[in-house]
Amino acid sequence: MSEPLFRDAYLREAPAKVVGHASEGGIILDASLFYPTGGGQPGDSGWLDWEGGSARIATAVKGEGGAIILVPEAPGALPPAGTEVRQRLDWDRRHRHMRVHTALHLLSVVIPLPVTGGQIGAERGRLDFDMPEPPADIAAIEAALNEVVARNLPVTDDWITDAELEANPGLVKTMSVRPPVGQGRVRLVRIGLGADQIDLQPCGGTHVARTGEIGTLRLGKIEKKGRQNRRVSVELAD
């Protein structure tokens, strides 16, 4: 199992040790700074350095038994098991993922409908909603999004047990993807505190520390996807 160093979303570099290789040629470390693809969020990219070598990491994916596999951008010599390495993130890309991911949480607040899917990118993201009719005022949704961003609310996380999640099904907004259970606990992401709390939902991704860090958002086009689903896109203005 790879220790998930990405839980500290602002950690940009970290040491680790190679514990093995995947059959497809990926590198498995004892602790991963790289977020693995999941929950609609792409895997992180960056670099891996070791004595006598280095590799550009294109992405990270989940392996068996909690392992995280770093996928090199190009074929080449891999560091053998036991090698001490230095991980370095492509921070600009990761940080943009954090901004977009947090923005999608806010989108699920200003459009309080069941979510049927989603995708995160470095420039924009989207949520699919169970929305039979299009919203009457798109400009009002964009204004509401940016108003919450401007409130600069704190974004924090907490953990609950699988049983507590089962007893509180209203925490789950996504209809198509259930939060991962079976590990004994589930991570919750909270936006706002106390009377200012506006959102609380299970999520394993990376987020900014405060909503103000997202920056100005633009609402993209709203597309009809099936009889009741509509896709709402949001993008970073800078």
Q: What is the pLDDT along the chain (238 residues), one digit of tens a residue?
A: 899 999 999 999 999 999 999 988 899 999 999 999 998 999 999 999 999 999 999 999 999 989 999 999 998 889 999 999 999 999 999 999 999 999 999 999 999 999 999 999 999 999 999 998 888 899 999 999 999 999 999 999 988 776 776 767 666 656 445 555 556 678 889 999 999 999 998 899 999 999 999 999 999 989 998 888 999 999 999 8
State how beta strands 31-32 and 3-4 pair.
parallel
Give yes or no: residues 127 and 214 share one domain.
yes
Last residue of a domain, one of 48, 74, 89: 89
- Give the pLDDT confidence score for residue 176 in this predicted structure: 47
Give yes or no: residues 104 and 83 share one domain.
no
Q: Quick one: how far is CA 9 from the chain centroid? A: 10
For residue 219, the domain's CATH number is 3.30.980.10
Number of domains composing the chain = 2
- Tell me if residue 60 falls in helix, strand or coil: strand
Q: Which helix (H) or strand (E) holds 107?
A: helix 91-110
Provide the phi-psi class of 21: left if phi over 0, else alpha when psi is between -120 and 50, else beta.
Answer: beta
Last residue of a domain, one of 89, 123, 147: 89
Give yes or no: residues 133 and 156 share one domain.
yes
Give yes or no: residues 104 and 210 share one domain.
yes
Q: Give the range of the structural domain holding residue 189, as residue numbers without chain letter.
A: 94-236
Strands (E), 162-237: 185-191, 199-202, 217-225, 229-236
Q: Phi, psi at residue 48, to the nearest 5°?
A: -125, 125
- Give the pLDDT confidence score for residue 183 in this predicted structure: 64
